[in-house]
């Protein structure tokens, strides 16, 4: 039974959670999202003391606009790749849409959430999570849906003449409201309230979770954090498919460095947003 | 009434109340000396004479002021160095202050005649703009106002209300673009804010020269309300105006609404509903996420789950 260390070979075993494709997509969305927030938020919070400073730091408002568009293309690329993967998964791989390993929400997520609140107050055991927790599903689908809204409205404002050749001018008013609010919502969810907390702040991953960068995590961590998934694989005999020996030392060190860099990146992004938002409220 | 009275009153007031009483005293002495010593015929007809230097004998004193009719004190000090940097810095005082002499003060006894004089002064050099102004809505209102006076707050703008007086700078440049909405906003309250909330406003505010300000759409000297068919923003002309910057614009483009507040019920219903929906969604998601996060941390700290990994 692969748990921790393979008794025969004496090497550490890891649980492979994310494929290279998904890790690549995460890098893409991570860099592009921060690039978009970096150059867009100063426009939303233009009254903040910091906005002019930040705009000057990236080389002026024209340069900020250029970076924003380049990052938008990268972000749309993530969206197209992920949509393509969904189609491929359903049509070509004929993967199950619902079920225990699925990222599609289920009633268990509702029960898990209630279970977590009970656990917070010490009134019950911690729910036994499947492959994806309810907050991960929220993150995933909020980002996916948000990208449609923010990307669509952004494209309308990037090409206003073309957009209004088909649609009435008030569409641009709606586009600005959507773009601005969706950006604020997404930035708050990712940088402050949900995503960074689950990746860095919750006890199970503190101070940083490297699984999205390396793709693997120690088998015992998986068994502890996703007990239902681990148990399912154990019972159905599919655990061997995802357990492998840990990569060589050099690669492990590389992933630690990447995770460290991502942590610094994350805290920079959160501080940046908080400075822009809170400064006008405080002063 | 002796029009010099207010000056002396004001000066005396300064002598007794201000910490700079010495300088005020010098200012009074200088004025008195000027009036006594400069021969009247040297500047008396003063229409064309350059007497900047002589004006500054008094007006170069920081504490020169007067008590206006309304009881407010008015500072009459002109900083020569700042004035020289303005667009008119090389012009002598009497190119605008027409007919002023050593005894100018009877001519400025009321604000109305001063404004009239100022308009004529601008016209002397800027006749084209003056003619456009007369045809504009601002000009029409000014004529109506002169015939049937209304409360002072409703006074329509004359040249100096938009351009300023002693600090007139050349139009153009980023500083000008970043301030124009404040000039219009003095009367068109709220429109300055709604402008800033558009991408035009945001871009200009953060340093983009190419984006439009108030005057690029509304015009300036010949400004007319959009309801007037001759306006740059009338139904017939709006497309042409938009196309100055957006050559590919079509009719739909012109129906974009610049001056709306999305969260106000006066905004178009669809904009208002989307804005309110997002406001509610943001409050809901952030408060739920915040509570969830705080409780998670609370549990984590209470059970000593932080820093204790690997020991389970």
Same domain for B57 and B129: no
Tell whether B238 is covered by a domain.
Answer: no
Instruction: Evaluate whether ipTM surpasses 0.95.
Output: no
pLDDT band at B297; cut points 50, 70, 90: very high
Can you give the three-state secondary structure of A235-270, one letter per residue?
HHCCHHHHEEECCCHHHHHHHHHHHHHHHHHHHHHH
What local confidence, expressed as pLDDT, does residue A281 receive? Answer: 75
Contact indicator for A268, A205 with CB cutoff of 8 Å: no
What local confidence, expressed as pLDDT, does residue B72 receive? Answer: 73
Mean of the per-residue pLDDT values for chain B? Answer: 81
pLDDT in tens, B76-114: 888 888 888 888 888 888 788 876 666 655 555 555 666
Q: Which spans in A125-218 are helix H? A: 134-158, 160-166, 170-187, 195-196, 211-214
Burial class (CB in 10 A: 0-12, 13-18, 19+), A259: buried
Same domain for B166 and B95: no
pLDDT in tens, B250-279: 999 999 999 999 999 999 999 999 999 999
Tell whether B16 is covered by a domain.
Answer: yes
Residues of chain A with Cβ-Cβ distance to B202 below 8 Å are: 43, 46
For residues A199-207, give the mean pLDDT. 89
B285/A186 Cα distance (integer angstroms): 10
Number of domains in chain B: 3
Contacts 24+ apart (CB under 8 A), B163-166: B165/B118, B166/B78, B166/B82, B166/B83, B166/B86
Strand partners, A217: A15
Same domain for B137 and B89: no
pLDDT band at A105; cut points 50, 70, 90: very high
Contact indicator for A82, A144 with CB cutoff of 8 Å: yes
Same domain for B65 and B37: yes
Q: Choose one of B170, B200, B215: the last residue of a domain.
A: B170
Tell whether B230 is covered by a domain.
Answer: no
What CA–CA distances, in Å, run from B218 to A124, A169, A199, B59, B228?
A: 66, 18, 51, 38, 12
Same domain for B75 and B136: no
pLDDT band at B31; cut points 50, 70, 90: low
Smallest Cβ–Cβ distance between B278 and the set A42, A62, A185 belongs to A185
User: In this complex, do A122 and B275 lie within 8 Å of one another by their Cβ atoms?
Assistant: no
Same domain for B5 and B91: yes
What local confidence, expressed as pLDDT, does residue B95 receive? Answer: 82
Mean of the per-residue pLDDT values for chain A? Answer: 92
Smallest Cβ–Cβ distance between B199 and the set A122, A157, A224 belongs to A157
Tell whether B30 is covered by a domain.
Answer: yes
For residues B47-66, give the mean pLDDT. 68
Smallest Cβ–Cβ distance between A202 and the set B262, B267, B300 belongs to B300
- The answer to whether residue A9 scores a pLDDT higher than 70 is no
Give the single-character DSSP code of A16.
Answer: E
Smallest Cβ–Cβ distance between A185 and the set B260, B282, B309 belongs to B282
Which pair of structure tokens corresponds to residue B50?
A: 């350059």
Tell whether B241 is covered by a domain.
Answer: no
User: In this complex, do B285 and A170 lie within 8 Å of one another by their Cβ atoms?
Assistant: no
User: In this complex, do B252 and A169 lie within 8 Å of one another by their Cβ atoms?
Assistant: yes
Tell whether B215 is covered by a domain.
Answer: no
User: In this complex, do B202 and A193 lie within 8 Å of one another by their Cβ atoms?
Assistant: no
Q: Give the residue from B117, B199, B197 showing the smallest Cα distance to B158.
A: B117
Give the single-character DSSP code of A95.
Answer: -
For residues A216-236, give the mean pLDDT. 92
Same domain for B121 and B37: no
Sequence-separated (6 or more) residues with CB below 8 Å from residue A114: none
- The answer to whether residue B3 scores a pLDDT higher than 50 is no
3-state SS class at A208: coil
Tell whether B221 is covered by a domain.
Answer: no
Chain B: give the shortest CA distance to residue A92, in Å: 36
Smallest Cβ–Cβ distance between B250 and the set A51, A161, A172 belongs to A161
Same domain for B91 and B58: yes
User: In this complex, do A197 and B203 lie within 8 Å of one another by their Cβ atoms?
Assistant: no
Contact indicator for B212, B245 with CB cutoff of 8 Å: yes
- The answer to whether residue B239 scores a pLDDT higher than 50 is yes
Chain A: give the shortest CA distance to residue B216, in Å: 18
User: In this complex, do B305 and A117 lie within 8 Å of one another by their Cβ atoms?
Assistant: no
- The answer to whether residue A111 scores a pLDDT higher than 90 is yes
Tell whether B6 is covered by a domain.
Answer: yes
Burial class (CB in 10 A: 0-12, 13-18, 19+), A19: exposed
- The answer to whether residue B218 scores a pLDDT higher than 70 is yes
Strand partners, A245: A13
For residues B161-165, give the mean pLDDT. 87
Which pair of structure tokens corresponds to residue A3?
A: 């748990």
What local confidence, expressed as pLDDT, does residue B312 receive? Answer: 39
- Nearest chain A residue to B286, by CA: A193
Which pair of structure tokens corresponds to residue B251?
A: 């009719």
Strand partners, B74: B66
User: In this complex, do A193 and B293 lie within 8 Å of one another by their Cβ atoms?
Assistant: yes
Chain B: give the shortest CA distance to residue A24, in Å: 27
Length of chain B: 312
Q: Choose one of B70, B89, B106: the last residue of a domain.
A: B106
Burial class (CB in 10 A: 0-12, 13-18, 19+), B195: buried
Chain B: give the shortest CA distance to residue A23, in Å: 25
Same domain for B45 and B16: yes
- The answer to whether residue A153 scores a pLDDT higher than 60 is yes
Smallest Cβ–Cβ distance between A224 and the set B203, B303, B312 belongs to B312
What local confidence, expressed as pLDDT, does residue A42 receive? Answer: 95
Same domain for B72 and B59: yes
Chain A: give the shortest CA distance to residue B175, in Å: 14
pLDDT in tens, A263-281: 999 999 999 999 988 877 7
pLDDT band at B70; cut points 50, 70, 90: low
What domains appear along chain A, each with residue ranges and CATH number? 18-95+133-214+247-282 (1.20.950.20)
What CA–CA distances, in Å, run from B301 to A199, A201, A263?
A: 17, 11, 21
Q: Choose one of B106, B135, B155: the last residue of a domain.
A: B106
DSSP structure string for chain B: --THHHHHHHHHHHHHH-TTHHHHHHHHHHHHHHHHHS-HHHHTT-SS---HHHHHHHHTSTT-EEE-TTS-EEE----HHHHHTSTTTTS-HHHHSTT--SS-GGGGSSHHHHHHHHHHHHHHH-HHHHHHHHHSHHHHHHHHHHHS---GGGPPP-HHHHH-STT---S-SHHHHHHHHHHHHTTSTTHHHHHHTSHHHHHHHTT-SSS--HHHHH-STT---TTSTTSTTSTTTHHHHHHTT-TT--GGGGG--SS--TTSTTS-HHHHHHHHHHHHHHHHHHHHHHHHHHHHHHHHHHTT-TT-TT--
For residue B65, the enclosing domain spans: 1-106
Same domain for B102 and B1: yes
- The answer to whether residue B156 scores a pLDDT higher than 80 is yes
Same domain for B66 and B115: no
Indicate the range of A151-155, A195-199, B304-308 predicted with least confidence. Answer: B304-308
Contact indicator for A100, A232 with CB cutoff of 8 Å: yes
What local confidence, expressed as pLDDT, does residue B115 receive? Answer: 66
Residues of chain A with Cβ-Cβ distance to B250 below 8 Å are: 161, 164-165
Strand partners, B65: B75
- Nearest chain A residue to B268, by CA: A170
Which pair of structure tokens corresponds to residue A50?
A: 């910091």
Beta-carbon contacts below 8 Å between A and B: 143
What local confidence, expressed as pLDDT, does residue B74 receive? Answer: 77
The Cα angle at residue A47 between residues B167 and B171, in degrees rounded to 5: 25
For residues A229-246, give the mean pLDDT. 91
Chain B: give the shortest CA distance to residue A31, in Å: 23
**Whether the bond into A168 is cis, omega within 30 of 0:** no
Question: Count of CB atoms within 10 A of residue A31's CB?
Answer: 15
Do the bridges between strand A216-218 and strand A13-16 make them parallel or antiparallel, or are there none, so unpaired?
A: antiparallel
Work out whether the CA dihedral A54, A156, B208, B218 comes out positive or negative.
negative
What pTM does this model have? 0.85
- The answer to whether residue A28 scores a pLDDT higher than 90 is yes
Strand partners, A243: A15
């Amino acid at each position: 039974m692969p748990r921790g260390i393979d008794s025969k070979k004496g090497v550490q075993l890891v649980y492979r959670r994310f494929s290279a494709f998904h890790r690549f997509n995460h890098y893409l969305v991570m860099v592009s999202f921060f690039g978009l927030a970096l150059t867009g938020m100063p426009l939303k919070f233009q009254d903040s003391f910091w906005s002019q400073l930040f705009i000057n730091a990236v080389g002026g408002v024209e340069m900020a606009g250029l970076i924003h568009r380049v990052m938008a293309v990268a972000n749309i690329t993530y969206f197209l790749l992920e949509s393509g993967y969904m189609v491929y998964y359903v049509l070509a791989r004929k993967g199950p849409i619902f079920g225990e390993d699925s990222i599609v929400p289920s009633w268990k997520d509702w029960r898990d959430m209630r279970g977590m609140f009970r656990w917070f107050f010490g009134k019950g055991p911690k729910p036994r999570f499947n492959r994806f927790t309810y907050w991960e599903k929220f993150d995933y689908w909020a980002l996916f849906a948000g990208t449609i809204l923010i990307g669509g409205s952004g494209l309308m404002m990037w090409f206003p003449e073309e957009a209004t050749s088909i649609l009435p001018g008030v569409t641009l008013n709606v586009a600005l409201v959507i773009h601005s609010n969706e950006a604020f919502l997404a930035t708050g969810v990712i940088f402050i309230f949900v995503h960074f907390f689950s990746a860095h702040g919750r006890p199970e991953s503190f101070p940083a979770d490297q699984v999205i960068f390396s793709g693997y995590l120690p088998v015992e961590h998986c068994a502890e954090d996703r007990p239902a998934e681990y148990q399912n694989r154990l019972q159905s005999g599919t655990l061997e498919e995802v357990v492998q020996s840990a990569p060589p030392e050099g690669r492990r060190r590389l992933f630690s460095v990447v995770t460290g860099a991502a942590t610094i990146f994350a805290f920079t992004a959160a501080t940046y947003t908080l400075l822009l938002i809170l400064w006008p409220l405080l002063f | 009434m002796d029009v010099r009275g207010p000056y002396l009153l004001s000066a005396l007031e300064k002598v007794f109340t201000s910490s700079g009483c010495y300088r005020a005293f010098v200012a009074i002495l200088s004025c008195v000396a000027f009036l006594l010593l400069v021969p009247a015929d040297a500047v008396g007809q003063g229409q064309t004479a350059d007497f900047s230097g002589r004006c500054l004998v008094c007006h170069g004193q920081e504490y020169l002021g007067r008590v206006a009719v309304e009881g407010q004190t008015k500072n009459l000090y002109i900083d020569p160095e700042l004035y020289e940097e303005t667009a008119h810095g090389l012009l002598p005082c009497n190119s605008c202050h027409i007919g002023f002499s050593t005894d100018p003060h009877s001519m400025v006894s009321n604000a109305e005649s001063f404004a009239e004089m100022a308009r004529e002064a601008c016209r002397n050099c800027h006749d084209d703009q003056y003619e456009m102004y007369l045809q504009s809505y601002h000009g029409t209102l000014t004529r109506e106002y002169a015939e049937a006076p209304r409360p002072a707050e409703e006074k329509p703008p004359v040249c100096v209300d938009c351009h300023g007086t002693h600090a007139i700078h050349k139009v153009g440049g980023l500083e000008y673009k970043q301030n124009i909405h404040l000039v219009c906003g003095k009367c068109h309250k709220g429109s300055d804010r709604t402008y800033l909330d558009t991408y035009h406003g945001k871009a200009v505010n953060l340093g983009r020269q190419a984006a439009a300000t108030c005057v690029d759409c509304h015009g300036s000297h010949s400004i007319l309300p959009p309801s007037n068919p001759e306006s740059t923003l009338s139904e017939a002309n709006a497309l042409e105006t938009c196309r100055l910057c957006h050559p590919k614009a079509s009719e739909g483009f012109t129906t974009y609404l610049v001056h709306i507040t999305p969260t106000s019920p006066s905004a178009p219903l669809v904009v208002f509903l989307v804005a309110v929906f997002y406001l509610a969604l943001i409050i809901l998601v952030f408060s739920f996420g915040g509570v969830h996060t705080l409780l998670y941390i609370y549990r984590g700290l209470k059970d000593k789950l932080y820093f204790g990994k690997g020991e389970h």
